[in-house]
Amino acid sequence: RKEVEQDPGPFNVPEGATVAFNCTYSNSASQSFFWYRQDCRKEPKLLMSVYSSGNEDGRFTAQLNRASQYISLLIRDSKLSDSATYLCVVNVWNDYKLSFGAGTTVTVRA
């Protein structure tokens, strides 16, 4: 079983729509969670960390559900520029290596 699993999508949404997707992780000792964004095989870039209480960054909201071992990302009022692959990333407490999901592709159409 993969450590981090994501629905690959693609999620095709119109501009202005809301899109949400999850990822699941297998290691219950996981402590830190992140969403990264990757454009067209450019380098992954940190989008946001995911905190236990959930957190927002503008139009992006991340949630963590430890009991069910998943994290989610919601994008409100989608822009064309949100089209990208979103990587779910997890690490076990004090382990400096990260586990990356394979990514969820989002395409926002005009």
Residues near other proteins (CB under 8 A) are 31-32, 34, 41-46, 49, 87, 91, 93-98, 100-103
21 closest CA partner among 110, 92, 109, 102: 102
* Residue 6 vs 78, nearer CB to other proteins: 6
Whose Cβ is closer to other proteins: residue 17's or residue 99's? 99
Q: How far is the CB of 62 from other proteins (least distance, A)?
A: 14
Q: CB of 73: closest distance to other proteins in angstroms?
A: 16
Distance CA 10, CA 2 (A): 20
Q: How far is the CB of 16 from other proteins (least distance, A)?
A: 30
- Closer residue to other proteins in complex, CB, 19/90: 90
Burial code of 71-105, b = ≥16 C-beta within 10 A, e = fewer?
A: bbbebeebeeebbbbbbbbbbbeeeeeebbbebbb
